[in-house]
Amino acid sequence: PHKIHNFFEYSHSQHSAAHISPMYLILPAILVGFLLPQKPFTQPIFPNGAGDGTIEILAGHDLMEQTANVFPATSTTENINMLLAATSKIDPFRNFVLPARQIKVWLPPGYNDDSNSERRYPVLYCHDGQNAMYDSDSWTGHSWRMGGALTHLLRQQLLPEAPIVVLIPSMSDDVLPGVRRRHLEYSDGIWGQAYVDAIVDNLKPRVDAAYRTKLGANNTMAIGSSLGGQAAFLSVLRHPDVFGGAAGLSPCFQAGLLSNVVMSGATLKEKSLYFDNGGDVDDIRVPLLDPFDHLPHWNPGYFWLDTQLQPGIDAMRTALSLHKVSFEYVRFPGGRHNEREW
């Protein structure tokens, strides 16, 4: 799906406090202005889990697993090898830079029915895939509930056709103390380039071999949230012949990617691009805490982050407009930066 609608309803009241010492106003001001939502919102509640679809584990757990014995000699490989002072052997590269992980695949309703045995499906590659379907798999205790959302869209006939969704999990370990692997894999540098190249060169052929996929860029999309949104856009920019579009939910666009779009954004013409975010907008602010974010699991909520990422989103809009690239951007005032919102 290229977007998930959040609906906000607002109410606001002002009270005067004449003849009250300013000291007594500090705590109420904090509670009203930060701890409690200034304007309460509601959002669609989709079911947890796979919905009407099914989830399988892709055979083999290695993102770098090859369909041939020779590792593809790409410039990214050479750069990474120089960066790590490694040899050209695949094992050190595979184990350190892009380690093995379990990749799941969401199959749409009816995929395994005999009546659909000849039917082929478009494919959506989902970064931070562990956060997309099941609350229990998500590190915050809340998922995107993509399975429920897709099921709703399909039941309402709001999607032209159902996609296969490849759920690529991010890694939670640190490469070095304080250096998260996820931040490197989803970066706009050579580590991030190696990650999206591995998806194209190694993962996608395995998916196409295992499932009835439609080939061609128009049938292959990417989606991600935060830095995963950057990875989705980098996939399209770096491999426009493979990916036909990208969606970023509260994306974190970094300087390197933005510079590449300024220089090479024309390659994104005719692509389907969507991104959105929340954050503070005018008098609508993101509350410091939202009780629903922290039940039943603690969720930091990142109340500040969508507002902080706004300059990068504005820069992306400017860079795309510079090349007259069509895109859809939606802002949800007061929206938080977490899986429950996405």
Question: How far is it, in rounded angstroms, from Cα 123 to Cα 212?
Answer: 10
Q: What's the average model confidence in pLDDT over 281-291?
A: 86
- Write down the pTM of the prediction: 0.80
CA 76 to chain CA centroid, Å, is: 23
Across 68-77, 86-95, 96-105, which has the greatest mean pLDDT? 96-105
Distance (Å, whole) CA 270 – CA 26:
53
pLDDT band at residue 229 using 50, 70 and 90 as cut-offs: very high
Per-residue DSSP letter, 106:
E
pLDDT of 60 higher than 80: no
pLDDT value for 94: 58
Q: What does the pLDDT look like over 137-148, one tens digit per residue? A: 888 888 899 999
Residue 156: per-residue pLDDT: 93
Q: Which residues pair with 166 in a beta bridge?
A: 105, 125
Residue count of the chain, please give it.
342
- When pLDDT is averaged across residues 284-291 and rounded to a whole number, the result is 84
Q: 320-342 pLDDT, tens per residue? A: 999 999 999 999 999 989 898 88
List the beta bridge partners of residue 57. Answer: 104
Query: Average pLDDT in the 241-246 region?
Result: 98
The reported pLDDT for the residue numbered 126 is 98
- Is the sign of the CA dihedral 249, 253, 78, 200 positive or negative? positive
Q: How many CB atoms lie within 10 A of CB 119?
A: 14
pLDDT band for 81, please (50, 70, 90 cuts).
very low
Residue 62: the pLDDT is 56
pLDDT of 209 over the 50 cut: yes
Model confidence over 4-26: pLDDT tens digits? Answer: 333 223 233 333 334 444 444 44
Please check the confidence at residue 239 and state whether its pLDDT lies above 90: yes
Which residue bears the tokens 């929340």? 278
- How many other C-beta atoms can be found within 10 angstroms of the C-beta atom of residue 243? 28
Is pLDDT above 70 for 283? Answer: yes
